[in-house]
Amino acid sequence: MTRPFLACAVVCLTAVAASAADPKVDSAIAAFKQVEGDPAKLAIFCELSDVVEAMGDKEDPAAEAQIDGYVEQLGPDFEAAWDTSDEVDENSPDGKLLDAAFDELDGKCPE
């Protein structure tokens, strides 16, 4: 009984992953995965995530400068991914894929 369910889940996830139409989105997801696999970069990302979360929706030039510094430390691929996530409509299929990849990366950070 579990095998058909697992097979269905794998097919669905593969279809969703393959549906990214924009090569920039594919590159952004790959950059997030790269950070996930590098403990030093993951630590920087987790610090970035904490600042973003603390900032919320308010304008804070000091926090924005700190975020920019973390993004720069994570490298040009991550910076491009960060910019792509700002450019893509979060309700589009590509936006949902990016959000899922970002959430997965954020889930690797300690609480």
| 67-105 residue pLDDT tens | 999 999 999 999 999 999 999 999 999 999 999 999 999
SS (H, E, C) the chain: CHHHHHHHHHHHHHHHHHCCCCHHHHHHHHHHHHHHCCHHHHHHHHHHHHHHHHHCCCCCHHHHHHHHHHHHHCCHHHHHHHHHHHHCCCCCHHHHHHHHHHHHHHCCCCC
Please count the structural domains in the chain.
Answer: 1
Q: Domain for residue 11, yes or no?
A: no
Q: Domain for residue 111, yes or no?
A: no
Q: Domain for residue 94, yes or no?
A: yes
Q: Domain for residue 1, yes or no?
A: no
Domain assignment of residue 80, given as a range: 21-106
Q: Domain for residue 4, yes or no?
A: no
| 36-71 residue pLDDT tens | 999 999 999 999 999 999 999 899 999 999 999 999
Q: Domain for residue 7, yes or no?
A: no
Q: Domain for residue 85, yes or no?
A: yes
With tokens 């030039």, the residue in question is: 61
